[in-house]
Structure 1
Amino acid sequence: MTDSPLSDTPRPTADPDAPGGAWPDGPPWWTSAVVYQIYPRSFADSDGDGVGDLRGIASRLDHLQHLGVDVVWLSPVYRSPQDDNGYDISDYQDIDPTFGSLEDFDALVEGIHARGMKLVMDLVVNHTSDEHPWFVESRSSTDNPKRDWYWWRRPRAGMEPGAPGAEPNNWGAAFSGPAWDLDEATGEYYLHLFSRKQPDLNWENPEVRAAVHAMMRWWLDRGVDGFRMDVVNFISKDPALPDGVVREGRVYGDGHPHYGYGPRLHEYLAEMHREVFAGRPGRLLTVGEMPGATVEQAVRFTDPRRAEVDMVFTFEHVSLDQGASKWDVRPLRLTDLKATFGRWQAGLAEVGWNSLYWNNHDQPRVVSRFGDDDAFRVASATALATLLHLHRGTPYVYQGEELGMTNAGFTRIEQYRDIESVNHHREALEYGWATEDEILASLAAMSRDNARTPVQWDDSPHAGFTTGEPWIEVNANHREINAAAQLDDPRSVLAHYRRLIELRHTEPAVALGDFTMLLPQHEQVYAFTRRLGRTSLLVLVNVSGEEQALDLPGADRWMGAGLLLGNLDGSPAPDAPLRPWEARVHRVAG
C-alpha cells in the first residue's frame, strides 16, 4: 500500500491556462476541498436516548480533523415532527430538542471552525412540515393571508372533494400515493411532492421568497458557511399544473417535467444569490440537489457569471443500476458509468463545477452496491474511493463511507424506519407488483435505511454510537468494521481515505487538471488521465474481482511513471496487470 507524499505543499492556486481557471479571482477554495456529510440521527448519541445529537457530533470532531476534510455538511437538525427524519421542518430558526439546542449548535459551529473546517447546513425550502405555523395559518381558511403561501387547488371540474380521481392533477408523490391531499375543512387539495405532511411552498408568492431569504441570512449571521439545498430544482412549478404521463405499470402520472426544471427556477436562484449571498465574504458554499438535471442545465446553474449555485448534485450515475424504478435493481455496467461520468466531466470542463459522490443519506452503501462487500470489501471500498476522488470536482464523503461500512442486511420489514421503504412495501403488496420476498430483496439493496444505520465507532454492543437502545439497528458487522480498529492500521479504508484527501490538497492536478477518459469500452477497467501544466496523472482502477491485463493507448509515455498512490501493497509499473480491485495513481512530471 502506497502513501501519498506528506508535505507542506500549498493548496492549488490560479492557473489561467488550466481548465476552469477563468474565475476572476482564481479558483475558489472549494475546488480543492472535500466535504463530509453527517446524518445527525445516526452519527453519535451523547445522552443515551438512542438518537444522535449535536453534542455527539461535537465529541467526534477530532475524527473529522484526523480524516482531513474541509467542510461538514449537516443534514437537518431544525425543529420537526420527524415524519421524514427532519426533512419536514416546523421551525426553520430553532433546533429540534431531539438534537439539542441553539446553544449546542453554536458550540458545534465554534468547534468546527476551531479545527479549520466549515459548516454547511441543509436547506429544505421546497416544502415545510404541515405543522409549520405558515401552513397552519394557510389551511385555516381560504381567505387567510398565507393561503397563497402553498399550492391549493379545488377538485377537478364537476367532481366532489374526496371522490376517486378528483385531485387537481394526476401527479404521484415520491413516497407513494397521489401528490395531493384533501383538506376536509375547506374542501380544497394541497400539493405535496413528498409526504402528505410535507406541503410544497408556493415560490410564485414573493412573500414566501422573502421569508426564506431572511431565514437564510439569519443562519449565515450565526456562523454557517453555506447551504446544501434539498431538491431545490423543484421550487418552480408550471402554474398550470398539467397532468403527467402515466407510465406502464404505474398508477400516477409523472409530474417531474412540470416541476423539475420550472419556468422561473433560474430567476429564483439568481434572486436568492442576490438577496442572501452577494456582498458576503467568499467563504460560502452553495450546493443544489437537483434530481433529473442534465449536463447542459448544470452548466447554467454553476456558471459563476450567472451567480446561482456553486455546484449541483447529479443523480444520473446513481440511476444506472435501476430499471423502471429504484426498486427495479439491475447490474451496473461499467461502460455506462464511464459514459455518464465522462459526459459530466467534459460538459463542465470549461464552465461550472462537478459534485462527486457515491453515498449520502438517500443512497445505499457503495461497497455493497457497486463493490464486493464480502471477499474484497477493503480493496473494493478503496478502489471505488480512488476512482471517484481522482475526478475533477468536489468529493463528498458520507459518514461511515471512510470506514467501508456496508448495507444494513435487514431481512424483515419491521427493521425498516424509512418512510419511503415502508410505504413502498405496503403499496407493492397492495397492487401486486411483487412478492414479499422480492420486495424485501429490493429494500435490502436500495432502501435509504442502508445509509442510516449508526456509525460504527468501536466493537462495543451498540458500536459506540449510544449507551441506550439505538433508534435503528446497528449493523451486525460492527465488531469487525469500526473506526477504532482502523485508526492505526495503514492498510485500512480509513487510512486510504486520508491519503486521498491529502492528495487533493497537495497535488494541483487533482483539483484543477483536465480529464481524459481511456479505454471507454473496457467492462472491468476504469482508466483516465488528469493533466495540469507539465504534470500528468494516470488513474487505473480494476472494478472486478479478476486480474486485468492492460493495453493502454500511448503506453510508452507512462513508462517510468512513479506510483503516487495505490490501494494494495507493492509498487507496480504502469503497465503491470491490475490485481482484483486494485487502484493505482501514477505521476509523470515534465
Structure 2
Amino acid sequence: KRLDYIQSLGVTAIWVGPIFKNKPVQGAPGQESAGYHGYWITDFTQVDPHLGTNADFKALVDAAHARGMKVYMDIIINHTADVIKYRECAPDLPCAYRSKADYPFQRRGGVNGVAINPGFQGDSVQTPDNFARLTDPTYAYTPYLPKGEEHAKTPDWLNDITLYHNRGDSVWTGESVTYGDFSGLDDVATESPRVVAGMIDIFGGWIDRFGVDGFRIDTAKHVNPEFWQAFVPAMLARARARGIPHFHIFGEVATGDVDPALLAEHTRVDKLPAVLDFAFARAVVDLVAGHAGTSELARLFDDDALYEGGAEAALTLPTFVSNHDAGRFSTFVRQLSPTADAAAQLARVKLAYAMLLTLRGVPTIYAGDEQGFVGDGGDQDAREDMFPSKVASYNDNQLLGTSKTTADANFDRNHPLFAFIAELARLRISHPALREGRTLVRVAGDKPGLLAVSRFDPVSGQELLIAFNSSTAPVTANVEVGTRSLDFTALHGNCAPRASAPGSVAVSVAPLDFIVCAAEKSK
C-alpha cells in the first residue's frame, strides 16, 4: 500500500528487516524482552504471523517488481532464537564463554575430562567424514532442549544440538567472536558441512519461491570465512538460475570506528561481494553531527583500495547515516551539537544526506528519516512506527521539520526532508557520475569547513564538482578542477559559471550547506 510513497522518494530497492517466524518473548523471569527486531528466528521458512503470510510477502515482491523496484531480505545465519540451555548455567541468564583450548572437543568438561568424540580432528577440517565423529556436544557445557521445545525450530535439522557451538556467551574478542552465543542466542556451528548445505537450501529456497533480489546478512563477521566462501557463490548461482543476474549480497560488519580495513577484510577473506559501510557512517557523524576535520572522510576514499576489487567495488558498498541498531543521524546531531537550534539541526541532517546521496556507494535511507524522526538512542529507541504509534517513549519525541509526532501517521511527501531527499535522488539518477563515477578529493582539512570532491562520468568523463561546508561560517576558496572543465552549470546551490583559470574554480559555500557544479561536457 505504501510502494507509491516509497518510490516517490526516489527509492529503487527496499531492504525489509527480518520477516521470519520469531520466538516472540525471551529472557529470564522479570527480564523478558519481546522479539521486536525479528532476529530470534525459530522457523526459517515462514513469514512471522504478525507481519502476514508467505503469500503476502510474495505479493509485495511482485508489486515492487512491477514498479521496477528490487527487494532485499535481511537474513540471519550466525544464530537462531535462544532455545538450547546449559545444565551448568541458570536458564536465560549469562553463561561464561569456554574456549577451545580449555574445553577441547575431545574431552568432556575440560582438558582433564573423559575422552569423547574420538578421531574428531577439530572443526578446521570441514569434511562430512570428520564432522560425523562429532557426536557428543558436552565438551564445554551440557546442552539440552527444554521439554516441549525439542522441535521448536524449522527445518527440523536445526534442532540437532551438535550443530551449535555450545560454548557460552561471546565476550566479543578472540575466538568467541565466531564461537560464542550472541547475547545468549544459539550460535550455529557454521563450520559443519551439514549446516552449510542446510543454510544454502533454506535461503536458496527464498530465491526460488519469491524471486528476491539480494540479501543483507546480519552479524556476518561472527561467522567463519569458509562458510561465506561456499554460501555466496551458491546464492549467486541460484539467483542466476532464477533469472536474477545482479543478485546483491552485503554483510553487516558492525563497527563504531572509521575502520575500512576491518570492513575490507571481509570482502577479501570471506569473499563477501560487499559490506555495509559503517566507516562512512562514522565519518559523516563525526564531520556533520560533531566537529571533526573534513580529512576524516577524505581519507576514507583513499582506503577504498583495500576492498576486494578496489575503488570500483567500493561503489557497491551500501552507505548510510542512520540505521536500526546505532540510531538516527538526527539523534547524533542532538547529542553532539546540543546547542544547535531546530533550524541548525535540520541543516546538519540535510548536509549528511547530501553527502550520502552524492558521494560513492549505494545510499541507504532508514525509514522515518525522511519524516524528521529523532529517536532517544539506538536499537529499540530508533525503531519508531511510521503509522500512528502507541509507544509513549516514541510519541514524546520532538521531530524535525514538522509539528507532528509519531502518534500521527507520517507519510508526508511535503515534509522538507522528504522533498530534499527526493530532489537529490532525482539528481543522482540523472547523472551517472554520482552513481558510478570515480572520486577525486580536491580539498580537505583537519578542521570543520570545506570538503570538495570531483566525480567523473564513467563514459563521457564529465566532471561534477561537489563542495560541502561542515562549519558554521561561510567558506570561499579556489578549488582545483580538470583543465578542460571551464564552464559550469549549477545542479544545486550557487556555482561560478566559469573557471577562474584552466584548472581552478572559485567556490563559495554557505554554513552547513553544499553545492554541486557540473562542468560542460567535452566535445
Q: Deviations over 1:190-225 (max 9, x none)?
A: 9644221x1110011111111111111221122222
Mapped partners of 1:90, 1:368: distance in 2: 33
Match of 2:2 in 1: 60
One-letter amino acid of the structure 2 residue matched with residue 377 of structure 1: Q
TM-score (norm 2): 0.69
1:139 and 2:144 aligned? yes
Q: 1:200 to 1:81 in 2, by over 3 A?
A: same
Mapped partners of 2:251, 2:372: distance in 1: 26
Q: What are the residue-to-residue correspondences of 1:83-482 with 2, within 5 Å?
A: 83-84=34-35, 85-131=37-83, 139-140=144-145, 146-153=160-167, 171-172=170-171, 192-196=180-184, 198-223=185-210, 224-236=212-224, 262=225, 264-265=226-227, 267-270=229-232, 272-273=234-235, 276-277=238-239, 279-281=241-243, 282-291=245-254, 295=260, 308-319=271-282, 332-344=292-304, 348-351=310-313, 353-370=316-333, 374-408=342-376, 444=377, 447-455=378-386, 465-466=387-388, 469-470=390-391, 473-478=394-399, 479-480=402-403
Q: Among residues 425, 430, 442, which one is paired with 1:506 in the alignment?
A: 430
Q: What are the residue-to-residue correspondences of 1:536-575 with 2, within 5 Å?
A: 536-554=463-481, 560-566=487-493, 575=506
Aligned 8 A contact 1:213 1:275 in 2: no
Mapped partners of 2:233, 2:473: distance in 1: 52
Mapped partners of 2:301, 2:403: distance in 1: 33
Please list every run of 5 or more consecutive structure 2 residues that lacks an aligned counterpart in the other structure: 25-33, 86-90, 92-136, 138-142, 151-157, 498-504
One-letter amino acid of the structure 2 residue matched with residue 107 of structure 1: A
Q: Deviations over 1:113-157 (max 9, x none)?
A: 222211111011110002499xx9973499x9822210024xxxx
Q: CA deviation at 1:537?
A: 0.3
Mapped partners of 1:109, 1:475: distance in 2: 34
- Tell me which structure has the larger Cα radius of gyration: 2
One-letter amino acid of the structure 2 residue matched with residue 122 of structure 1: D
Aligned 8 A contact 2:215 2:250 in 1: yes
Mapped partners of 1:88, 1:231: distance in 2: 13
Aligned 8 A contact 2:166 2:187 in 1: no
Q: Deviations over 1:65-108 (max 9, x none)?
A: 11121110001121112455211111111122222222322222
Q: 1:310 to 1:536 in 2, by over 3 A?
A: same
Q: CA deviation at 1:333?
A: 4.0
Q: CA deviation at 1:486?
A: 5.3
Q: Deviations over 1:284-315 (max 9, x none)?
A: 22111123696567667658xx9954321132
Aligned 8 A contact 1:123 1:230 in 2: yes
Q: CA deviation at 1:509?
A: 1.3
Instruction: State the SS of the aligned residue for 2:394.
Output: coil
Mapped partners of 1:145, 1:576: distance in 2: 63
One-letter amino acid of the structure 2 residue matched with residue 525 of structure 1: L
Aligned 8 A contact 1:453 1:475 in 2: no
Aligned 8 A contact 1:345 1:354 in 2: no
Aligned 8 A contact 2:281 2:319 in 1: no
Q: Deviations over 1:3-43 (max 9, x none)?
A: xxxxxxxxxxxxxxxxxxxxxxxxxxxxxxxxxxxxxxxxx
Across the two proteins, how many residue pairs are aligned to each other?
Answer: 416
Q: What are the residue-to-residue correspondences of 1:575-590 with 2, within 5 Å?
A: 575-588=506-519, 589-590=521-522
One-letter amino acid of the structure 2 residue matched with residue 383 of structure 1: L
TM-score (norm 1): 0.62
Overall identity of the aligned pairs, in %: 24
Q: 1:103 to 1:554 in 2, by over 3 A?
A: closer
Q: CA deviation at 1:321?
A: 9.4
Q: CA deviation at 1:227?
A: 0.9
Mapped partners of 1:373, 1:288: distance in 2: 37
Q: 1:488 to 1:355 in 2, by over 3 A?
A: closer
Aligned 8 A contact 2:84 2:144 in 1: no
Aligned 8 A contact 1:486 1:495 in 2: no
Q: 1:106 to 1:279 in 2, by over 3 A?
A: closer
Instruction: State the SS of the aligned residue for 2:197.
Output: helix
Aligned 8 A contact 1:365 1:450 in 2: no
Q: CA deviation at 1:388?
A: 2.0
One-letter amino acid of the structure 2 residue matched with residue 73 of structure 1: W
Mapped partners of 2:193, 2:220: distance in 1: 17
Q: 1:269 to 1:90 in 2, by over 3 A?
A: same
Q: 1:121 to 1:472 in 2, by over 3 A?
A: farther
Q: RMSD between aligned alpha carbons?
A: 3.9
Q: CA deviation at 1:383?
A: 1.8
Q: CA deviation at 1:516?
A: 0.5
Higher relative contact order (CA 8 A, sep 6+): 1
Aligned 8 A contact 1:179 1:194 in 2: no
